[in-house]
Amino acid sequence: MREGLKQFQMKTPQDKDHAKEAVGKAAAALIQNGMLVGLGTGSTAHYFIQHLIERTRNSDLKINAVATSERSTHQAREGGIPLVDINTITHLDITVDGADEIDHQKRMIKGGGGALLREKIIASISHEMVVIIDEEKLVDRLGHFPLPIEIVPFAHQLTLSRIKNLGYQGNFRKTSSNELYLTDNGNYIIDIHFPNCCQSPEKDQDTLSSIPGVVETGFFFHLAGRVLIGKADGTVLLLP
């Protein structure tokens, strides 16, 4: 169990799913007419997109959107949400996305679903990034969840060696058929494990992102706006 979260421990995968759906639905209710919306990626964002599709079908809500992955693009397109080309815009009104971990300073680890690069680009041009999590994602210290790093395929073994030589423990993400996992951008992911959590996320961010070949890390700092926390009983809290 994560540090300091005894009161939040969930019992079953169904509990987790209820929490994710509740928070996804609550976030969909925040979207207003005319907004340009960033659509996150992952199982929690999936519920957000699903409820947003329902709102656009059952009301006069008109929005445009940009998605952070091919998966979310597909879901939005199937649901009839109009998508705009990212190259034709300079900002978004709001982005709603999940997180793998978030601490009380709203620093996050993201990228468990492999979409960290597009997620960070889209969050960085959003007036507000609303983060939707189930209660187990709120941690006292980042680093229980492995930190994903997106790297270019060229010299990927060399890049991994350099990361390890700096004292990090990590390896390439693989698919179920043991192939190297490819992101939507055609890159690889190295997942870094912190045996004793992450002691200084900003320092690790600087060190890792300065290695040639590293495209982006899964650390998200100064990006989260409102953080909505779904609970297994269907209630949703706002992180103070």
Which positions are annotated as active-site residues? 119
Distance, in Å, from the CA atom of 107 to the CA atom of 208, rounded to the nearest integer, reads 16
224 binds ligand A5P (CB under 6 A): no
Would you say 129 or 163 has its CB closer to ligand A5P? 129
Based on CB atoms, which residue is closest to ligand A5P, 2 or 164? 2
**Which tokens in the block code for residue 137?**
């994602």
Residue nearest to ligand A5P (CB): 42
Select the residue interacting with ligand A5P from 10, 22, 37, 40 (CB under 6 A).
40
If binding is defined by CB under 6 A, does position 44 make contact with ligand A5P? yes
Q: Which of 189, 190, 217 is nearest to 203 (CA)?
A: 217
Judged by CB, which is closer to ligand A5P: 81, or 115? 115
Q: Taking CB under 6 A as the rule, does residue 143 contact ligand A5P?
A: no
Two tokens, residue 20: 């994710």
Q: Which two tokens stand for residue 127?
A: 């007036």
Burial class (CB in 10 A: 0-12, 13-18, 19+), 17: middle
| Half-sphere exposure (Cβ direction) of 108: Cα atoms closer than 13 Å | 26
Count of positions on this chain that bind ligand A5P (CB under 6 A): 17
Angle at 63 between CA 62 and CA 69, to 5 degrees: 145
Q: Which of residues 91-130 bind ligand A5P (CB under 6 A)?
A: 97-100, 110-116, 119
Measured from the CB atom, the residue of 61 and 197 that comes closer to ligand A5P is 197
- For the beta carbon of residue 177, count every other beta carbon within 10 angstroms: 5
Shortest distance in whole angstroms from residue 16 CB to ligand A5P: 9
Bridge partners (DSSP) listed for residue 24? none
Q: Which amino acid is at 150?
A: E
Measured from the CB atom, is 162 or 171 closer to ligand A5P?
Answer: 171
Nearest distance in Å: CB 213, ligand A5P:
20
Confirm or reject binding of residue 36 to ligand A5P (CB under 6 A): no
The letter for the amino acid at 223 is L
- Under DSSP, the state recorded for 81 is -
**CB of 116: closest distance to ligand A5P in angstroms?**
5
Contact set with ligand A5P (CB under 6 A): 40-44, 97-100, 110-116, 119
